[in-house]
Amino acid sequence: MGACCSRNDDVLELATRRAFMEEEEQEEGEDAGSCLFGTEEQGDGEEGGGDSARVRLRGSSMAVAMYSQQGWKGVNQDSMTVWEGFAGDKDTIFSGTFDGHGPYGHKVSRHVRDTLPSKLQSQLKRLMNDDSNLDTETWFPKWKAIFVNAFEEVDKELHAHPMIDCICSGSTAVTIIKQREHLVIANLGDSRAVICTRDNKNHIVPVQLTVDQKPNIPSEAERIRHCRGRIFALQEEPDVHRLWLPDEDCPGLAMARAFGDFCLKDFGLISTPQISYRKLTDNDEFVVLASDGVWDVLPNKEVIKIVSSASKRSDAPKLVIEKAVRAWRIKHPTSKVDDCTVVCVFLKVPPPTSASNKSTRRSRSLSTASSDISCTSFRTARSSEVSEVELEAGSEEYWNALEGVSRSNSMLKLPRFTKALSWHRKSFKVEEDTCAH
């Protein structure tokens, strides 16, 4: 497909939706193809600039590297994206990692991935044009309000979505916007953002930019209990506190904030993100966004060490995930390995190479574009999903996170009423289609 660049937000959103549709086809067993938005082969001279943005659903560039690997639980429910030239500013990057859970978590995470950036971009573009000269204390509250509004709009859309059952399916989101020396972080759930910086002895140190929004955090627990939600950990996993319905031991959600999961929205679960700001300095080197499949088994320090020691930037996310998978097998040998997704946003431009080296690298990348870029990028984002069969509509009874040790799952058990509500939604959709014809 090549680069997808446009000066029109509607066209850009259409392109991301087209990519989503192609991914859906791939899961049903059709040929994979190469749905790649921007690759390392594409230079600055190609179409873009102005109000356009280059959207990456996988792959890497000089500024970012992305990798996702399916776990042992079925279809990969993680999603990721990077928009370069975000909100019409060539120096602005949006990046996000989204971790789905529940029977249709993969659909929720991809819907968030495809719609949230567009909502943010349309509002931020106007604000950036109007408030470009304002200080941080003045513009940050406005940015914060835009983030909160965009997240809650996406959640409302999911609630009314005719094709995605979000009763007991949802997604986390950890996102950043980097605009020159400004970094704005928005987090929903228990995915995490960590920045690598250097101390006064020039040693690399991790700084965690987000808080894992677990139900037992005092501020979260107070809200949940006020709304009659229950919080407790199972005996077999005493370190994992979960959110439960008032009168039923389900669904056992291991986070206090998320998109979707509407069976819990009246009992303390919210879709309001936590927003923070960091002014970047010369000591800051890169930001790592990753799903909890990574952070559950690797400490922050280990992750930044792996990224900083990678010989190639494009290899860094894959190396982190390979280490995480090994750690899962050692630390939780009876658990199903979780889906793992890593996005690295590098804050410093590497030194320019000589003209001859550029020419050689360009020639190599063109001659091996299919295998080195498109195919590898496809595998990183989809892993072995092409051979997986998605859950058919109405097959909730076959979904059971309790197979294996439960700590590898964000949600444990579906409520009794889920099947009836899902059947009602499907029946309503069939009735609509019949009337339309």
Would you list the domain boundaries of the chain? 9-436
pLDDT score, position 432: 46
User: Please, are residues 335 and 408 in contact by the beta-carbon 8 Å criterion?
Assistant: yes
- Of all residues in the chain, what percent carry a pLDDT higher than 70? 68
- The CATH class that applies to domain 9-436 reads alpha beta
User: Please, are residues 65 and 31 in contact by the beta-carbon 8 Å criterion?
Assistant: no
Strands (E), 16-102: 54-56, 64-69, 78-84, 92-101
Does 22 score more than 60 pLDDT? no
Does 191 score more than 50 pLDDT? yes
pLDDT score, position 184: 95
Concatenating the DSSP letter of every residue in 213-260 gives --TTSHHHHHHHHHTT-EEEE-TT-TT-EEEEETTEEEEEES-SB-EE
* CA 281 to each of CA 85, 148, 183, 196, 309: distance values in angstroms, whole numbers, following the listed order: 21, 26, 11, 11, 21
Determine the Cα–Cα distance for residues 187 and 239; give it in Å rounded to an integer: 22
Determine the Cα–Cα distance for residues 431 and 93; give it in Å rounded to an integer: 43
Does 200 score more than 70 pLDDT? yes
What pTM was estimated for this model as a whole? 0.76
Does 55 score more than 90 pLDDT? no
Determine the Cα–Cα distance for residues 378 and 373; give it in Å rounded to an integer: 8
Does 396 score more than 70 pLDDT? no
Range in 108-117, 193-202, 271-280, 384-393 the model is least confident about: 384-393
User: Please, are residues 248 and 415 in contact by the beta-carbon 8 Å criterion?
Assistant: yes
Residues 6+ apart with CB under 8 A from 330: none
Angle, in degrees to the nearest 10, between helices 300-309 and 316-331: 140
Does 408 score more than 70 pLDDT? no
Does 67 score more than 60 pLDDT? yes
Does 429 score more than 50 pLDDT? no
Does 357 score more than 80 pLDDT? no
Does 40 score more than 70 pLDDT? no
pLDDT score, position 346: 95
